[in-house]
Structure 1
Amino acid sequence: MTFPDLTKFYIDGAWVEPAKTATFALIDPATEEEFGQLAIGSAEDVDRAVRAAHRALPAFRDSDPAERVALLRRALKLYEERSESFAEAMRQEMGSPITFSRQGQVPRGPLHINALLEVMETFAFEKDRGTTRLRHEAVGVCGLITPWNWPINQVVVKVAPALAAGCTMVLKPSEFSATSALLFAQVLHDAGVPAGVFNLVNGDGPNVGAAIASHPLVDMVSFTGSTGAGIRVAEAAAPTVKRVAQELGGKLANILLEDADFATAVPKGVAACFTNSGQSCSIPTRMIVPRSRLDEVVGLAVARAQQIRLGPTTDPKTDLGPLVNRAQFDRVRRLIQSGIDEGATLCCGGPNRPEGLERGFYVRPTIFTGVTPEMTIAREEIFGPVLSILSYEDEDEAVALANSSDYGLAAYVQSASQERAQAVARRLVGGQVHINYPPADFHAPFGGFRQSGNGREWGEAGLHEYLEVKAMIGYRPATAQQTPEQKKIRG
């Protein structure tokens, strides 16, 4: 692939030089070799980008929604034509095996855009309720801060609804996944995004991210990342009382009720936990199973884990790639060691490197049993290929274990009885509950409770995040047919 120019930012419709000279070494996590130097921005670059977005806002906010839909359709076509470049970018920048890049990472962009286009077909930006006209208007200039683990997915679920709503924006992708974001910026440019509507500044959180969150001309910040970083974003945004939407961490439970088909449910749960090398906030990392069937579960889980192939990210047969960087590699291994030190039983995997992979940030698929709720591996989001198996005596204990986390992003439940699974789903704390491993629903609101954040992404819920509601009362004259109750309410 031909990489985009890593030394420039996209501001006001053009590729521009940074205000200062600072770079960040891009490391291929599978080889630990440098493949580029990324320009790192400053508060001055953010200010330039925000002011461009502020100037572009009035015209874009008042544009015809049909024009914005046409822009998204053009971008979608260009993205699909360049899908292999995106797959290669994500393979190299964050270690996604090439087959998973092609089949898992790349398709998320079109899936989300198409779901949004379906929403736009019927969405009413204005509608009447009695004498009042409700009008949905763009929230304004948006600061979008995205993570490295699902690079295009997270960019698209922010940029696309912001564009559809009529917002202008400044995007700061993770410095660890900047190449795919730069490719996406070029797609939007080639699709004809108006100057200043979309801007991109690369950089780190403490400098560029903080400058976006605190800028007085930014009306909204949408952040995806760790809970700790989300708190800092909210603190920076608070003095200007801007809207803050956050999709943060997760520690998802997967309850297997005793009537579930364990031969199917356990292997599927293991595979789901190890998706993207475990680097996902919405995967089931705590498997909660009947105590009477614990040995059976462990046997099935270990057998599935042993089938997973680690290897070079260029090999189409590789299932599990490396972790994104040295810091994440060291952290995950420390957490695995904490599980051993705190008394959990290591069933497979462990903190040592996989045999034959002396280079790269590879961690073996790891499964623990004998895990109790107070253990670190049961409480902290590990963000690596680590599954904790907990056991229960009855359904109430299973639900209590699932809900014992400080997070509340999502949960899973498996049962032969759809009605029983539905009843348990109602009791689980989470923004989504997946019943019997359903197919993905890209219209379903995505977001969490508790320390997993606030706000929702995906589909119509994601569009609403970028809209304000204006009530124009008396827009329609009152009629003689008004009821006494209506008159009283108006009075």
Structure 2
Amino acid sequence: MREYLKFYIDGQWVDPVALKTLDVENPATETVAGRIALGSAADVDKAVTAARKAFPAWSQTTREERIELMNRMLAEYQKRLGDLAEAVTEEMGAPAYLAQRAQAPTGLGHLSAAIDVLKDFKFEDDRGSTMIVKEPVGVCGFITPWNWPLNQIVCKVAPAIATGCTMVLKPSEVAPFSGQIFAEIMHAAGVPAGVFNLVHGDGPTVGAALSSHPGVDMVSFTGSTRAGIEVAKNAAPTVKRVHQELGGKSPNIILDDSVLAKSVARGVTAMMTNSGQSCNAPTRMLVPAARMDEAITAARAAAAEITVGDPNGNTKLGPVASRIQWDKIQRLIQVGVDEGATLVIGGPGRPEGLETGHYVKPTVFANVTNQMTIAREEIFGPVLSILGYDSLDQAIAVGNDTEYGLAAYVNGEDLETARAVARRLRAGQVSINGAYDQNAPFGGYKMSGNGREWGDYAFHEFLETKAMPGYAPKAAAE
């Protein structure tokens, strides 16, 4: 059993100010997998103090010094790739194949991308006699979720390190093991004391202390819209920068063409990956109403192939992350039934033969209207809603009829039509025919948050802009 009872502050593993522990559950077995210490406002204050002390020196390091450090981080991360994958499977139930091929490697991808961006990033710009400089925002507070824990940690930490910021990380208390190992990676890489700090804890205590702390210049939060609103409220009195990547209810518009069945199957697979626990999951599939029966047949066949079970086995879906999540998903599946949606496959209860563990049946509803609860609320489980449309104009209107705007999807063989539809969808990222780009900016419209992560767009979130009129270029001054 894992025991992580120290925090990483100012380059050292230190005891909490007052020890309070939390048991961490393995969602596949419903047994205790480990214990962590829960931090307090006093622990946050120590970590922020360390980050503030380290900022003046770290913010003045050269591009080359930061690249050298990040290359060491990359090397240490590669050494621990297997440990990270095992931790993710244990703490939040990701199947071993997904943890090994996606969950853990996504951190490598963000680190590599940040190094590449840093090599050529323009921090200064001469505009006549005015010099415009991009400078690090300062001390950053990071509050990260349990569903893609390493993705969300590294896509914040990497650009923050690259731009000269210092930071305090609070990983999710539901999935803290991977965050702990990441802190060990940072230490092994020789990150200067105070540049990176980690305090475990819950949202109402450590999260609130971090987002409200006057010594924190920016807070970056990934999680639910409800929690994101609380973070913004906590941050408001100190007028710190707030960056948020929040919930989603992403539409997936299937074009009326000869590859409809293939597009539907792709949409089902994408929706069910990670047990549906992705903020950008294509949860609302829009298909031509006249071809609803065809879509139902294709969706049922695709969902029937998705195996559920022990994440350390060969199954495609593991459990959802917690009993709280399982209860919420079960409630919303029942609401879908009660509100009259057609249950195509799946439904309430655990899959047959799985009496222990937070397992959910891959569930597909059809003939859903956009006013139904399952089309409005973020379920965050393996539950797909299929809606019919009579025209592309209607499909786009329905796709945009949501309080969210994180992601959207268009699938079909006519690329020009797909492009035209993508341009009209109000979302931060619109994927065409399953395309994926880890360097593309990621973030949302509306209640899905503000700001962008990934690639060069992430750098700007961690930079202040300073204008210096009269700072004439050398040639002009002479």
**TM-score w.r.t. length of structure 1:** 0.96
Q: 2:429–2:442: 8 Å Cα contact kept in structure 1? A: yes
- C-alpha deviation, 1:38, in angstroms: 1.0
Secondary structure of 2:386's aligned partner: strand
Aligned residue in 2 for 1:227: 225
Distance between the aligned counterparts of 2:211 and 2:301, measured in 1?
Answer: 46
Is 1:459–2:466 an aligned residue pair?
no
Q: 2:67–2:119: 8 Å Cα contact kept in structure 1? A: no
- C-alpha deviation, 1:442, in angstroms: 1.4
TM alignment of 1:295-444, pairs within 5 A: 295-315=293-313, 317-438=314-435, 440-444=436-440
- C-alpha deviation, 1:37, in angstroms: 1.4
Aligned residue in 2 for 1:485: none
Aligned residue in 1 for 2:92: 94
Distance between the aligned counterparts of 2:60 and 2:474, measured in 1?
Answer: 28
- C-alpha deviation, 1:135, in angstroms: 0.8
**TM-score w.r.t. length of structure 2:** 0.98
- C-alpha deviation, 1:289, in angstroms: 0.4
Rate the CA distance shift 1:260–1:197 in 2: closer, same or farther, 3 A: farther
Rate the CA distance shift 1:198–1:479 in 2: closer, same or farther, 3 A: closer
Paired residues in the alignment total 477
Is 1:474–2:470 an aligned residue pair?
yes
Distance between the aligned counterparts of 2:385 and 2:30, measured in 1?
Answer: 29
Aligned residue in 1 for 2:183: 185
- C-alpha deviation, 1:318, in angstroms: 1.1
* Deviation per residue, 1:48-69 (Å, 9 max, x gap): 0000000000000011121111
Distance between the aligned counterparts of 1:260 and 1:207, measured in 2?
Answer: 54
Q: 2:260–2:412: 8 Å Cα contact kept in structure 1? A: no
Which amino acid counterpart does residue 350 of structure 1 have in structure 2? G
Secondary structure of 2:176's aligned partner: helix
RMSD (Å), alpha carbons: 1.3
Aligned residue in 2 for 1:44: 42
Distance between the aligned counterparts of 1:22 and 1:312, measured in 2?
Answer: 31
Which amino acid counterpart does residue 429 of structure 1 have in structure 2? R
Distance between the aligned counterparts of 1:458 and 1:129, measured in 2?
Answer: 28
- C-alpha deviation, 1:459, in angstroms: 0.4
Q: 2:343–2:364: 8 Å Cα contact kept in structure 1? A: yes
TM alignment of 1:268-279, pairs within 5 A: 268-279=266-277
Aligned residue in 2 for 1:449: 445
Rate the CA distance shift 1:356–1:198 in 2: closer, same or farther, 3 A: same
- C-alpha deviation, 1:125, in angstroms: 1.3
Q: 2:261–2:294: 8 Å Cα contact kept in structure 1? A: no
Stretches of structure 1 that go unaligned for 5 or more consecutive residues are: 482-491
Secondary structure of 2:174's aligned partner: helix
Q: 1:260–1:414: 8 Å Cα contact kept in structure 2? A: no
Which amino acid counterpart does residue 226 of structure 2 have in structure 1? G
Distance between the aligned counterparts of 1:72 and 1:471, measured in 2?
Answer: 29
Distance between the aligned counterparts of 2:474 and 2:160, measured in 1?
Answer: 35
Rate the CA distance shift 1:124–1:357 in 2: closer, same or farther, 3 A: same
Stretches of structure 2 that go unaligned for 5 or more consecutive residues are: none
The match for 1:107 among 76, 82, 105 is 105
Which amino acid counterpart does residue 469 of structure 2 have in structure 1? I
Which amino acid counterpart does residue 462 of structure 1 have in structure 2? A
Which amino acid counterpart does residue 54 of structure 1 have in structure 2? R
TM alignment of 1:236-247, pairs within 5 A: 236-247=234-245
* Deviation per residue, 1:65-85 (Å, 9 max, x gap): 211111111111111111110
Runs of 4+ in 1 over 6 A off after TM superposition: 477-481
Secondary structure of 1:364's aligned partner: coil
- C-alpha deviation, 1:415, in angstroms: 2.3
- C-alpha deviation, 1:468, in angstroms: 0.6
Distance between the aligned counterparts of 1:479 and 1:97, measured in 2?
Answer: 60
Secondary structure of 2:4's aligned partner: coil
Distance between the aligned counterparts of 2:78 and 2:259, measured in 1?
Answer: 38
- C-alpha deviation, 1:21, in angstroms: 1.8
Q: 1:131–1:478: 8 Å Cα contact kept in structure 2? A: no
